[in-house]
Amino acid sequence: MYDIIVIGGGPAGLTAALYARRANKSVLVIEKDAFGGQITHSPKVENIPGFYSLSGNEFAEKLVEQVMLQGADVESCQVLSVSDGGEYKTVKTDDGDFTCKAVIIATGTKHRMLGIENEEDFIGHGISFCAVCDGAFYKDKTVAVIGGGNSALQEAILLSKLCCKVYLIQNLDFFTGEASLSEQVKNTDNIEIMLGTVVNALHGDTDGELSKITVENTLSSQTSEIDVDGMFVAIGLVPQNEIFASLIALDERGYIKADEGCETNVRGIFVAGDCRTKKIRQVATAASDGATAALDACDYVDGR
């Protein structure tokens, strides 16, 4: 029996565990993959308060160590379901069942991938997902942005101010983002727009860093190679909330609905980080959610 079970070991979940332990609550953190979440794919991070520069792995390791030193338990297993028994909740995993008084869901999101060979190998070695996080590493270099929605257009605009050349590659013959962003992109000299085009191969240099991409025109089937220093994939995020759909309210895109205190529509079940409905998804806002969810969960456990 735990006071609080945290599902997810990224910045939101680990921050929640830290705050809950400092409030003297018994805590279990369950993570199915590597602790640290998506940030572990970033070789260099410069927007975490208090750290001038460190790798995503370093940050994750420090956070995990801090949480464990505070006395939280951790389990590496996959959550299969959560059931609400009123005063007590049951978290069923592929390694057994755990019981608690409150649950904090912090499962994050996955970046939608292109689905081409070797893509995973280049994450953190030329493939990025966040221009705000990684754009500065490509100053005065050439990059490609993949996508045509608001996120891709915004990434391209931001990168155009840092990079000497930005290829904006969209598989459709039109942008799906806002007209104002589309116009801004079209009027930016160092952005080359490639509509009706897909990336179908990635090539690395001798150090394993992305150095070239093969693109194909969807109408003519003509292929060509483009030299790039990096590629930003901006084709959407996928929340990992399917197993909670029958228990708590999700929005039309699959994100968990929550109030200001990060509580869901089910008493005693909270949510933190990228998997919830919110506007900004950054490591700082994930940590903020974790603190908020933990403090409200502690109040719930204490009957306040």
Residue 5: per-residue pLDDT: 98
Residue 57: per-residue pLDDT: 86
SS3 at position 46: coil
Q: Architecture of domain 113-233 in CATH?
A: 3-Layer(bba) Sandwich (3.50)
**Where do you find CATH 3.50.50.60 in the chain?**
2-110+237-301, 113-233
Q: Is 97 a catalytic residue?
A: no
Domain 2-110+237-301 homologous superfamily, CATH: FAD/NAD(P)-binding domain (3.50.50.60)
Strand partners, 133: none
Q: Is 130 a catalytic residue?
A: yes
Which residue, 74, 97, 102, 98, is CA-closest to 87?
A: 102
Q: Could you tell me if 228 and 199 are in contact, meaning their C-beta atoms sit under 8 angstroms apart?
A: no
CA angle (206 as vertex; 200, 209 as ends), nearest 5: 55
- Options 3, 100, 130, 275, the catalytic residue: 130
Q: Could you tell me if 204 and 211 are in contact, meaning their C-beta atoms sit under 8 angstroms apart?
A: yes
Divide the 304 residues of the chain into consecutive groups of 10 and give the mean pLDDT of each group. 97 97 98 84 79 87 95 95 95 96 95 91 92 90 96 93 97 93 96 97 94 96 96 91 95 93 96 93 93 97 92
- Options 3, 100, 133, 274, the catalytic residue: 133
79-84 and 230-233 strand pairing: unpaired
Residue 122: per-residue pLDDT: 94
Residue 52: per-residue pLDDT: 86
- Options 3, 77, 95, 134, the catalytic residue: 134
Q: Could you tell me if 143 and 153 are in contact, meaning their C-beta atoms sit under 8 angstroms apart?
A: no
Residue 245: per-residue pLDDT: 94
Residue 192: per-residue pLDDT: 97
112 CB-contact burial (10 Å; exposed 0-12 / middle 13-18 / buried 19+): middle
Residues 6+ apart with CB under 8 A from 41: 56, 123, 124, 129
Q: Is 133 a catalytic residue?
A: yes
